[in-house]
Structure 1
Amino acid sequence: MGAEDELLEAVHDSHADALYRYVVRRTGDEEEARDVVQETLLRAWRHPEVLERSEESVRSWLFTVARNLVVDHLRSARRNREHSTASVPDRQEHDRTHAVLDSWLVADALLALSPDHRAVVVGAYYRGRSVAELATEHGIPPGTVKSRLHYGLRALRLALQEKGVTS
Structure 2
Amino acid sequence: MDRGEEVVRQLYGRWRGPLHGYVLRLVGGDHQQAEDVVQETLLRAWKHADELTPDDAGPWLYTVARNLVISGFRKRSGRNSEVPIEPADLPPVADQVDHVLQSWQIAEALRALTPDHRSVVVELYYRRRTVKEAAAVLGVPQGTVKSRCFYALRALRDALEERGVTES
Tell me: higher relative CO, structure 1 or 2? Use CA pairs within 8 A at least 6 residues apart: 2
What is the TM-score normalised by the length of structure 1? 0.43
What is the TM-score normalised by the length of structure 2? 0.43
Higher helix share: 1
